[in-house]
Structures are given as C-alpha cells and as structure tokens.
Amino acid sequence: MTLLSNILRFLSGDAQADRVVPPTGFTARLTVFASAAMAFLAVFALAFSLATGRLADRWGDALAKSATIRISAPADQMDAQLLAVTEILATTPGVKEARPLGEDEQRALLEPWFGPDLPLDRLPIPRLVEVIEDDEGFDAAGLRARLAGEAPGAILDDHARWREPLVKAATRLRSLGLVAIVLITALAGVVITLAASAALSANEQVIRVLRLIGARDSYIAHAFVRRYTLRALAGAAVGTVMGALALFLLPSAGAEGGFLTGLGLQGWQWLWPLVIPLFAALVAFLATRQAALTTLQEKR
Amino acid sequence: MIELEQVAYGYGTGTLLSDVTMSLAQGSFHFLTGPSGAGKTTLMKLCYGELVAEQGSVALFGQNVREMQRDDVAEVRRRIGVVHQDCQFLDHLSLAENIMLPLTVSGRALHDPSELQELLAWVGLQQQANAKPPELSGGERQRAALARAVIMSPDVILADEPTGNVDWDMSVRLLQLLVELNRMGKTVMIATHDMNLIRSAKSQVQARVLRISNHQVTAAGANL
Ligand SMILES: Nc1ncnc2c1ncn2[C@@H]1O[C@H](COP(=O)(O)OP(=O)(O)OP(=O)(O)O)[C@@H](O)[C@H]1O
Ligand SMILES: [Mg+2]
C-alpha cells in the first residue's frame, strides 16, 4: 500500500520540482529512442525464448511417449513371436510398459489409408507393440540384438529418438533467448546511465545552485530520476507496441508450421510484453538514481 | 549562531586564512572588509559550509561542519540566507521563480503570496519578475539575490558585496532592508569595500566591523 502510494506520488510528481532542472533536449530524445529500440528487441528475444520453449516442450513430450515394435511373421508364428517379444520387454530395464495393440486399435490406425472395410484377419498385417519408456529409457541397441535373436520378425522402431538432439538444441536456444533478454536489459541500464550522467554533468551549475540554497540530494536526484524513468517508460511502451505488432503481423502457418512461423506469441503469452515497459522503467529508475547520487556525493 | 575556532584555510596555493576565531552571535550585525583577494568570500563560504576548514572548527547552530551529513548541510543552509558575490541563479527560470526557489526546494510556500510582491517592490524589481536572470543588469541580479536570501526569513543573512553594482540610493535601500531584518532579530554579516555604506549603517544599527589582513580577522577600530 505504501509502496503503491509511493509509486503514484513519484509518477504524479511535483511540477515545480521538475522545472528546477532545465529541459535536456538531446539526451531526452536519445533516452526515449534507446528505450524504444531495446524494448522492440526485447519483444523478439522474449518471443524467441517462448517459441523455442514451446518447441522443446512439444518435442520433449513426443520423446517421452513411446517406441513401437513391429512384428512381421507368418500367421502361424505370429503368436509365438508376440509372446517372445512381450517376455523380452518384461525383462528389459527402462521399459515402463509394453502393450500389444488390439485388432480394433490397429484397424483405427490403418483406416485413414485403406478405408473401413479392411479385412484385417485375412491380410498379413504386422502386429504392433507399444513400448513406453520410463525416465531412464532403454538401451535400443541391446534391445534390438535380443529381438533379433529371439523374435527375428520383430523390428524396433524408436522414431522419436532422432528428435533428441533437436530438443537439446531447442532448450539451448531458449537459454540463448534469455541471455539476450539479460543483455538487452543490461544495455538499457548502461545507455540510460550514460544519458543521465551526461545530463547531470551538463547541469553541474544547476545542481550547485540547488545545493547552495538548501536542496537535499534526494530532491535533486528525484528531479532527474523521475524524468528519465518516465522517458524510459514511454520509449519502451512505444517499442513494445511496435514489436508486438510486428509479431502479430507475421504470417501464421498451422501448428506444424515449422519453427520460424511459430515465433509469434500464443494466448496468455501476449501478456508478457506488458512487463517490458515496466521493467525498463525500473531499470531506468535504478540506473539514474545511482548515477545521480554518485554525482551528488562529489559536490558539497 | 556561527562560530569559528582557530580556523585555517588555503586553496592549495598557500595559506589564505589562518587562526581565525570569531563568532556571530544571534542578532548581531557585522561588516567584513579587507582588500580584494583577502579572503572575504572564502570566509563566507566557510560560514555556510561550502568550504570545510582545513584546521580548526566551524560550528553552525552548534553543529560542527566537519561532522554534518549532507542533509544536515542542506538543513542548515535553509537557515542561512546567502547573497553570493556571483549571484548563482538558474537561468532557465524566471526571476520570481528564482527568488522563490529556496521555498520550492524545501517544500514550503509563502504564508501570503503578496509577500513576494512586497519584496520585489522593495528591491525595485516588480517589472522584472518574469524576466530570466541573464536578461538583467548586474545590479538587478544583486537585488534579486538579496531578495532570494531573505525569502525564507532565515536566522542568519550573509551578504557578499550586496551593493557592489548598485547606485548609492539603492545601496542605502538594500542596507535598510538588512537593518530592518536585524531589528527583527536576524543575524547579519555584510562583506563590502564600501566605507560609506559602513558609515551610514553606523547611525542605524550597532554594527561591528571585521577586517581581514595578513590572513587574520581582526576587529577594526571605531575610527573608520
Ligand atoms: N576556487 C579557488 N581556487 C583557488 N583559488 C581561489 C579560489 N577561490 C578564490 N581563490 C583565491 O583566494 C583568494 C581569496 O579569494 P576571495 O574570493 O575569498 O577574496 P575576496 O576577499 O572575496 O575578494 P573580493 O573582494 O575581490 O571579492 C584570491 O587570491 C583568489 O584568487
Ligand atoms: Mg569576494
């Protein structure tokens, strides 16, 4: 409550107090522009992080799911081989669950390709066993070797595995996106500190006069800090809107639309960019206050 | 109010003031004279904490300057009105805003807004209230500086050459303002070269004259 009222008082400010520091045209425009540009970049870094995060999650889920064992054998050996496979799987470490697909399930899988009237019982259709891994995962090469020995018609298809490096890459990309956000934030802090320091030294005489007539450091610092915080807030708001608009206007492809077109934000994620201007204002506040108090310490 | 004990100061180019012991008692009226470059402005700066004594101690309202926090310095300066020799205005604000600035920065306002008009009238600046300081003559700036120094109704007024650039009639007028304030109990010190001003004050107020010579501050005799 006090924090909120402090913030409100800070933002509403004291018009007279603002006027004691002369307008600083050049650094002012510089600050607004820099904040806008960095907010724009931050929107993309954010979207990038969220998109790669989604990708990693999606692919990671698929990975966790399953592998399939396909048994192709003459009809009279089918049951024997199925039994052998089930027994092998029961003793394979890393297998959480193994389940032969029923006839109905297989029919459902094939229906889209061959239509509903498929005479499954009369066709040499391979039987499928769904294998669900536990967290450790099984040793695919070892399992293949055992299958080849005991159920020659069984083939392990761990199609999801090729995605593993991709998931790793996507996770890494997400971290890179976060690093980019941190760097942009740091850069915003640096730029605003430089602009504020320049303004402070340009106003050395003003600060001297204010001190001489009894102004406290906090009063003088406040005049600068408020100004730069509001500029960063305004600039970042504009930059964020532009960035979000650019994302919004990206041509969208479906869920499978690949990586680049998946860069947009989804649903509640559109709320994330709202944080950027507030965060920029916070960075500006801290950076300017630090610069102002440091500069003031050197004077009497 | 202001006490200096064996104070020494120099700007790194040698001693300017040494072994200065003096005190401005409440309600006292002092003149400070001495040749140009003797250190009058420097002594004033020691008296409002812009400079810190190299040796000895300066106490403002009982607080040792060397031990004051920055906010204490600000607080003390609100109780000491200073006419700086080089005026020190904010050039982007109007004269009236500059005069009101001590009130502004301490979050105060005049009890009665007409006080500002009266003060401007006294120093002859009603016409210039909205002008910017760089548009004014040296004498006008000095009058404005005096107005700013007294606007807070401070306990102590330190005026460094307040009449340096004004004609004799205006000098008398400004002196009268300071004398009036002194009668109200304010402590006043005026640095000046103008012996006529000192003489004319002597008929109105019990003024003591301090002279800086040979790095020392001494009480000047009655025979000016
Ligand atoms: N900031 C400074 N750095 C170095 N030397 C200084 C500084 N300020 C003043 N001085 C020197 O100190 C000496 C005293 O200066 P001060 O301004 O106190 O003299 P003053 O008595 O007020 O002279 P005036 O009557 O001309 O105003 C001068 O020789 C001046 O050159
Ligand atoms: Mg001087």
| pLDDT, tens only, B153-180 | 999 999 999 988 888 988 998 898 899 8
Q: Which strands make up the sheet holding A95-100, listed edge to edge?
A: A95-100, A127-133, A66-71, A154-157
What is the residue extent of each domain of chain B? 2-219
Give the residue with greater pLDDT, A137 vs A82.
A82
Report d(CA B101, CA B112) in Å as an integer.
16
Q: Model-level pTM?
A: 0.74
Mutate to test the interface with A, among B91, B100, B105, B160 (most CBs of A within 10 A): B105
Contact at 8 Å (CB) between B109 and B97? no
Q: Which of B9, B13, B15, B16 to mutate to test the pocket of ligand 1 (most atoms within 8 A of CB)?
A: B16
Residue of A nearest to B68 (CA): A300
Tell whether the torsion through CA atoms of B56, B60, B61 and B67 is positive or negative: negative
**Model confidence over B33-80: pLDDT tens digits?**
999 999 999 999 999 999 999 999 999 999 999 999 999 999 999 999
User: Identity (one letter) of the amino acid at A19?
Assistant: R
Degrees, nearest 5: CA angle B84-B111-A206: 30
pLDDT at position A23 is 79
Ligand 1 atom nearest to CA at B39: 18
CATH class of the domain defined by B2-219: alpha beta
User: Identity (one letter) of the amino acid at B111?
Assistant: H
Give the residue with greater pLDDT, A267 vs A160.
A267
Question: Considering only CA atoms, which residue is closest to atom 13 of ligand 1?
Answer: B37
pLDDT at position A197 is 85
Please, what's the b/e burial string for A184-218 (b: 16 or more CB within 10 A of its CB; e: otherwise)? bbeebbebbbbbbbbbbeebeebbebbbbbbbbbe
Degrees, nearest 5: CA angle B82-B88-B93: 115
Contact at 8 Å (CB) between B152 and B74? no
What is the residue extent of each domain of chain A? 2-60+164-298, 73-152
- Most confident of the ranges A57-61, A197-201, B123-127: B123-127
- The response to whether residue B35 sits with its C-beta less than 6 Å from ligand 1 reads no
The minimum CA-CA distance between B200 and chain A, rounded to whole Å, is: 30
- Over pLDDT 70: what percentage of chain A? 85
Provide CB contacts within 8 A for B97, sequence distance 6+.
A19, B90, B104
Minimum mean pLDDT range among A135-139, A179-183, A253-257, B77-81: A253-257
Has residue A254 got a pLDDT over 60?
Answer: no
**Model confidence over A221-240: pLDDT tens digits?**
888 888 889 889 999 999 99
- The response to whether residue B42 sits with its C-beta less than 6 Å from ligand 1 reads yes
User: Identity (one letter) of the amino acid at A26?
Assistant: F
* Model confidence band, residue A14 (pLDDT cutoffs 50, 70, 90): low
Q: Calculate the average pLDDT of chain B.
A: 90
User: Identity (one letter) of the amino acid at A290?
Assistant: Q
Is A210–B105 a contact, with Cβ atoms under 8 angstroms apart? yes
pLDDT at position B223 is 47
Gap from CA of B159 to ligand 2 centroid (Å): 10
For residues A99-108, give the mean pLDDT. Answer: 80
Q: Is B45 on the interface with A (CB under 8 A)?
A: no
Q: Report ipTM for this prediction.
A: 0.90
Contacts B88 to A, Cβ<8 Å: 208-209, 212
pLDDT at position B146 is 92
Minimum mean pLDDT range among A125-139, B51-65, B88-102, B190-204: A125-139
Residue of B nearest to A16 (CA): B104
Residue of B nearest to A204 (CA): B90
- Over pLDDT 70: what percentage of chain B? 98
What residues does A151 pair with on adjacent strands? none
Q: Is B121 on the interface with A (CB under 8 A)?
A: no
User: Identity (one letter) of the amino acid at B68?
Assistant: M
Minimum mean pLDDT range among A199-208, B23-32, B179-188: A199-208
**Model confidence over A15-35: pLDDT tens digits?**
666 778 887 777 778 889 989
Report d(CA B197, CA B179) in Å as an integer.
12
